[in-house]
Amino acid sequence: MSTELVSHTTEELIGLFPPGTRPDADGTLMVGGCRLDDIAEEFGTPAIVVNEDALRQRARDYLAAFRSRWPRADVAFASKSFPCTAVQRVMAEEGLHLDVAGGGEIVTAVKAGADPAKLVLHGNAKTDEEITLAVEHGVGLVVVDNFDDIDRLERIVPAGRQQGCLVRVIPGVEAATHASQATGHAGSKFGLMPDDARRAIARIEASPRLRLDGVHTHVGSQLLNTEQLAAAVEPIAKLGTFDVYDLGGGLGVRYTYDDHAPSLDDYAEAMVGQARALLPEGSRIIVEPGRSMVGTSACTVYRVTTVKRGQIVHVAVDGGMGDNLDVSLTGQRFEATIVNRVGGGETVTVVGRHCESGDQLVDGVELQDPKVGDLLAIPVTGAYCYTMSNQYNGARRVPVVFARNGKTRLVVRRDTWDDLLIRDVD
């Protein structure tokens, strides 16, 4: 989709990159004190670059924002947004719980050194294998999404043990976001309507192998209105008095100049304000940030492979929908810049290397004199890029590089050509 362009300052553009990003003396962008051209030289392109200090500070800020307002508050990082073992390890080291959305995220969380008792397992279609993994590892909370979850838990949890559970409730809130990111509306595949939730609560309370700790809700993702997020508290408050109220996540981030994301303090005040008004004093609340925890901590660096001038100037790079599916999936807008010539210039469309017309990274963005061989950086790629990376057209999945205090650390390597064959059995 075409966008009417307005020129923006270099400072505005750099402001979309991870906190602390700045140009070096020659104008080349630096993230975590490391030049992006040096990172590209060492690790190749495309590559996801994470400012580790920014990631850690965001975790600390989240905990402080909620615990200063509600002492029994926990923050559970929604691992699905960036389920890299190293990212999960950072969150665990900073005192966060982890929200895991399946067996694979349990495995990486355990490898990351997370305390299994601080894991919250989600999923609308949990399998016997995943429930077994959760029970064997001692996952603290299983979010019951349906009655089949209860059947499986009662069958798999051994006699003499009790599994802590939360019942997921559909709050009936129509989220102002992309349809694929809305989860709190009637008809959502996630959770139970309040009457069914009451039945699930009664079943769990009557089960000798299950323990009802509380209720859970979630409105959607990339929400830029705190009122919509806070609106989910009342429906679960009406279900009764519990020890735990999990309020979900969903806070949006600023991807483009036109986005106006609420501050963390505004979000915490809105959620805790509703908790003070509606929830029992002394109860425990949990929030589950994903995108707003990691989104702005990373950028992706590409190499320009082709510049095609015609009716539209197409600047093609060596990545695309294999490392950033969010554009094709949700229509998410991103911004971009040449790494050593930051800021505006001619209007171009940045496209990927994949054999799909829909493989478009940014439609209508100003770049300064783009040429073959240039490095191009796209900010705000810390959420839902790594996790949805794929091998379409035989692409090798991209590496993740942590940058901190002028030093780099490879935490996920790039696929090798042999990796594309490793699952073949014939």
List, as residue ranges, the binding site for substrate.
291, 356, 384
Which of these is catalytic: 34, 84, 299, 355?
Answer: 355
SS3 state of residue 210? strand
- Does residue 355 carry a catalytic annotation? yes
SS3 state of residue 275? helix
SS3 state of residue 253? coil
Q: Which two tokens stand for residue 32?
A: 């975590």
CB contact at 8 A, 282 and 73: no
Distance, CA of 317 to CA of 324 (rounded, Å)? 12
Distance, CA of 114 to CA of 97 (rounded, Å)? 8
SS3 state of residue 407? strand
Binding site residue list: 250, 288-291, 356, 384
DSSP 370: -
Binding site residue list for pyridoxal 5'-phosphate: 250, 288-291, 384
CB contact at 8 A, 291 and 253: yes
Burial class (CB in 10 A: 0-12, 13-18, 19+), 314: middle
Segments of 297-345 assigned E as strands: 298-308, 314-317, 337-338
The residues annotated as belonging to the active site are: 355
